[in-house]
Amino acid sequence: MGNEKNLVDYRLYIKEFIINIEMNFPVDTWRRNDIYFWPFLRRKIYFSLIRKFSDNQLNGLEKTISKKKSSLSIPQKIKGKFNVLSRVLSFISFWVNLSKRDYVFLSAPHFKETFDGKSFDRLFDPLIKDKDLEDKSIYLVLNSESKKKRSNTLELEILKQYQTFELISKRFRSKTYHFDDLEFQNFNDFQEILKKEFKADYEGLDINSFIEKRSLSLNTQISFFKILFKRIKPDKVLSLCYYYSNLYEAAIAAANKLGIQTIELQHGSIVSEHMCYAEWNKIPSSGFSTLPRTFWCWDSFTYEIMNKWTSESNFHDALIFGHPWISFWNNRDLYSSEENYVLYTLQPEPEYKIEQLFPIGLVNYMKSKSIKWIIRMHPRQKVSKVSFENYLVQQGVSNFILNTVADSPLPISMSGCTLHITQSSGCVHEAVLFNKKTVLLNKIGQNYFKSMIESGSAFYFNPNNLNFSEKMDSIIDMSKELSRKNLSQSKSLEKMIKMLKS
């Protein structure tokens, strides 16, 4: 398979490239010390190819613990000794104060909202808010993620505690593993394929070194979480993004090895090109321990993608549980007071510049109509709110309100809109659950959400086509006739909590 330059969507190429590797190499056998390499190798290749095809470096979710060496002055060394003592005391206190909790939650800062003046995880806290779960739950976070108090649920910072554990473990580690000469079946041929694809960039991948370092750190991290979970004794470990941190991946692996149920709750759009979730073709009979065992899907569209491969696995499975954040707002009967507006959900850089988010055809349509537009920025938007506002005003657009995530929760904005528009955002899933039609403006969206287009839940309109304005008028008129009372297809929170407790 050659390296094609002019692709409608380079992620289709990446998907085919990775599937080709799985079909031609025994990736489900590459392991040492009960650690399968393929899940984190696959992810490294996936994100590396995305970076290769993007103009700028992606603001990826994978986090690494960086260690910088520097020369220290004598006062700094003395201060360092006191810091070590402080860390050790903190470490001892951390372990002594651990107690039994039924549910462990692994989340990330960008899933936070502000609700009732407190930090609120929009996908987990709706499940926890019931008093029966608050005392039985615990959040494990890398660092303190918010100055605002998080309701009544216990939160523990684990990064510093793990770093102390790692420091102690190195003192007693008697055996190291070297992966300089990997001799797994066809592994050399696999590396030749990567060399052809990445060319000059291949040396930067440093595959053997990557496997060695990740395997060693993963073993230590798994040991840390095994001890942690034996103290907490959870029934379930739930994550929102298992690869957000190497530590989260290790927590999933440790729980799987201890027989604790692991659940990944869908946090955004999952399409067949998302190679952290979709199209796994070779899985060992015992499953990949670094992947969650159960995948909690919002809707049937995601379930079909996940079930395509989990149904072939004896270990992994997928279930439709619904969307907690949407159900939470439906239970409160709080909906948008605005009416007759179009909701446009944006996507962040580097793949979408301002000019791409607002092509001339869309700008002209916005200027020619009196209907109000509510434009919602992405949680990871790099461009400032002021920059967006200035750009639109310069283009002659005035009938809009620009919202950040903090300005209005997505369910509130989605509940009152006449129509939802996006380039290719996963918010199309929320629109389906609110019985709202979506117009996709980018060919990528047309590729990603084919099943939604086929079902009539979404449409693809090219804003550069001459009939774009006519199509938009037609879909807006049709959308106005939909009943606003038929709000959500998501399961009730009560049913979700029952499933969580089962």
Cα–Cα distance, 236 to 90 (Å, whole number): 26
Give the number of C-alpha atoms closer than 13 A to the C-alpha of residue 328, restricted to the C-beta side: 20
Mean pLDDT of 25-40: 91
- Integer angstrom CA distances of residue 375 from 191, 399, 414: 45, 10, 11
CB 234 within 8 A of CB 260: yes
Segment holding 134, helix H or strand E:
helix 131-134
The band of 378, judged by pLDDT with boundaries at 50, 70 and 90, is confident
Instruction: Tell whether the model's pLDDT for residue 2 goes beyond 50.
Output: no
CB 464 within 8 A of CB 473: no
Give the number of C-alpha atoms closer than 13 A to the C-alpha of residue 9, restricted to the C-beta side: 16
Length of the chain: 502
Mean pLDDT of 95-110: 91
Residue 56, pLDDT score:
39
How confident is the model over 46-98, as pLDDT tens digits? 999 988 887 433 333 333 333 334 344 444 444 444 567 777 888 888 898 88
3-state secondary structure 404-415: CCCCCCHHHHHH
Mean pLDDT of 383-401: 92
Cα–Cα distance, 127 to 151 (Å, whole number): 13
Instruction: Tell whether the model's pLDDT for residue 1 goes beyond 60.
Output: no
Q: Which one has a higher pLDDT value, 115 or 243?
A: 243
Residue 110, pLDDT score:
82
The chain-wide mean pLDDT, for the chain, equals: 84
Mean pLDDT of 188-198: 93
Lowest mean pLDDT among 27-31, 64-68, 161-165, 206-210: 64-68
- Which residue intervals of 199-266 are DSSP H helices? 202-205, 207-232, 246-258
Residue 176, pLDDT score:
56
pTM: 0.84
Q: For the chain, what percent of residues have pLDDT higher than 90?
A: 52
Residue 33, pLDDT score:
77
**Between β-strands 31-32 and 35-36, what pairing exists: parallel, antiparallel or unpaired?**
antiparallel
The band of 6, judged by pLDDT with boundaries at 50, 70 and 90, is very low
Instruction: Tell whether the model's pLDDT for residue 356 goes beyond 80.
Output: yes
Q: Which one has a higher pLDDT value, 416 or 313?
A: 313
The band of 357, judged by pLDDT with boundaries at 50, 70 and 90, is very high
Residue 494, pLDDT score:
79
Q: Which of 68-72, 97-101, 247-251 has the highest mean pLDDT?
A: 247-251
Q: For the chain, what percent of residues have pLDDT higher than 70?
A: 85
How confident is the model over 167-181, as pLDDT tens digits? 888 877 655 555 555
Tell me the CATH class for 336-480: alpha beta
* Residue ranges of domains in the chain: 1-64+75-334+491-502, 336-480
How confident is the model over 133-154, as pLDDT tens digits? 999 999 999 987 555 556 678 8
Residue 89, pLDDT score:
84
Residue 336, pLDDT score:
62
**Between β-strands 137-141 and 154-157, what pairing exists: parallel, antiparallel or unpaired?**
parallel
